[in-house]
Amino acid sequence: MTTTAPDVQDRAARTTDYDAQDVEYLRHGDQSLLARVFTPRGSGPFPALVEVHGGAWCLSDRKTEHLRHEFMASRGIVSFALDFRSGETDPYPASLQDINFAVRFLKLHAREFKTQPRSIGLSGQSSGGHLAMLAAMRPYDPRYAAIALPSGAAHDATVRAVVMSWPVINPLSRYRHARRALAAVNAPEWPKSIIARHDSYWRSEANMAEGNPMLALERSEKVQTPPAIWFQGRGDTLHDYKDADSDFPGNEPQRFVANYRKAGGEIELHYLDMDRHAGHAPDLSKTGDMFDRMVEWVGRHIAVGIL
């Protein structure tokens, strides 16, 4: 059993003031991509999370999940919350290119944002959880790392840890899960928007299978497996379901955890009692002690030293 050091417990409980600013981290022609950076006050260095928002790869922005970002900063964690190219206009793998670049950008400017290149993790919610894990698993993929840093900069996109909130860890199985739900008698409304956004971002089932953390592990790809944690709401049919095409006896969270550990990775799965309504974003103010548990876990897995 892992024990929590007193200083980590203090960090989870202690609040601090922080500053927030929007920073342009990347530009595509006339399109400026911003990160909203929440930086704790004090000398640092602090652990940092590159935050990837959800929205079925097509919706939301860097401000949507601000409650989590503000909480992290108030507990001594830099929150680097991204805008990135949307699946409504730029299909896979454009968003992975932006996220990969953002990790390297933050490493390049680590001192400016009171962190260190070796003290950076990725965090994401729903489709953002999928993107965070995929970016962490494939930091050297030449498609994802296609955007170069300024001349002479040599940082890679590896990260120390990954924090996921109800990730769409298997886009292909979720797509087929939605199509089955839509074909059922008295079909619910949620599959319609889910299917449309999968189609917009992925364009094909072949892409859903390729850009897929679950299937990458089952294909025995050589990937990075940094320490990871998965927070999952109970009764969440969009993220916690049994893949009808798999012979694994459990749901997708248990299946991924088994595959990740088999590949040599350390991962925890924590269920939450929270309101969850299919087709609607969850209320992050009603997730119990999830944020505190995130802070405690980050404190144990992302080390910082002296700037």
Q: Give CA separation, 231 vs 124, 164, 234, 250, in Å.
A: 11, 6, 10, 17
Q: Give CA separation, 263 vs 12, 166, 224, 233, in Å.
A: 30, 21, 9, 25
pLDDT at 166 over 70: yes
Domains of the chain, by residue range, sit at 6-301
pLDDT band with cut points at 50, 70 and 90 for residue 22: very high
pLDDT in tens, 271-291: 999 876 666 677 888 899 999
* Residue 262 region by backbone torsions, left for phi larger than 0, else alpha for psi between -120 and 50, else beta: alpha
Higher-confidence position of 8 and 92: 92
pLDDT at 52 over 90: yes
Helix ranges (H only) for the chain are: 6-13, 66-74, 94-108, 127-137, 171-183, 190-202, 205-210, 213-218, 252-262, 290-301
Residue 152: per-residue pLDDT: 81
pLDDT at 153 over 90: no
pLDDT at 6 over 60: no
Residue 151: per-residue pLDDT: 80
What's the number of CA atoms in the CB half-sphere (13 Å) around residue 44?
A: 20
pLDDT at 9 over 60: no
Kindly state the average pLDDT of the residues 140-149. 97
The CATH superfamily assigned to 6-301 is: Alpha/Beta hydrolase fold, catalytic domain (3.40.50.1820)
pTM score over 0.85: yes
* Residue 289 region by backbone torsions, left for phi larger than 0, else alpha for psi between -120 and 50, else beta: alpha
Residue 4: per-residue pLDDT: 37
Nearest partner of 267 among 240, 301, 305, 234, judged by Cα? 301
Residue 254: per-residue pLDDT: 98
* Strand 162-165, strand 18-28: pairing: unpaired
Beta-bridge partners for 37: 21, 80
pLDDT in tens, 223-263: 999 999 999 999 999 999 999 999 999 999 999 999 999 99
Q: Give CA separation, 70 vs 124, 212, 251, in Å.
A: 15, 30, 32
Kindly state the average pLDDT of the residues 210-220. 98
Higher-confidence position of 3 and 18: 18
- Find the range with the poorest average confidence among 69-73, 109-113, 280-284: 280-284
